[in-house]
Amino acid sequence: MTWHAVTIAGYLLVVAGIVALQLLATKTRAPVPSFGELLTRAMRSRTGRVGVLVAWAWIGLHFFAK
């Protein structure tokens, strides 16, 4: 197995974890918040809200801007 494949497998594992937690939150009664609830909680204060929105803006800047 190459390092390239190991690196990709790591990303896929993280994505699988995110999907599994979201399914647990929305399809079962497990005490797991959904990703939306997590974001809503993080964005309750103004600093949290601006922080999350700036993180979103940064993604756009990172992939497209100089």
Partner 1 sequence: MSCPGPSPAEVPARPGGRVLAALAGLRAPVVWILLAIAFFTSISGKPVDGVLMLIVAVGLAWDAGRRALRHPEAGETPAPARTDRLPGRRRRFAVIALLAGTAAYAGVVGSFSRYSWPATAGIIGLGTVVVLIGWHGPVRARPAGGRLPVAGTLAWLAVLVAGCLWELSALLQQPSLTTDSAAHPTISTLTDPLLATSPGRSVVLLAWVAFGWYLVER
Which residues contribute to the site for partner 1 (CB under 8 A)? 2-4, 7-8, 10-11, 14, 17-18, 21, 24-25, 30-33, 35-41, 43-54, 56-66
Shortest Cβ 27–partner 1 spacing (Å): 14
> What residue type is 37 in one-letter code?
E
Shortest Cβ 39–partner 1 spacing (Å): 5
Shortest Cβ 26–partner 1 spacing (Å): 12
CA 58/CA 60 separation, integer angstroms: 5
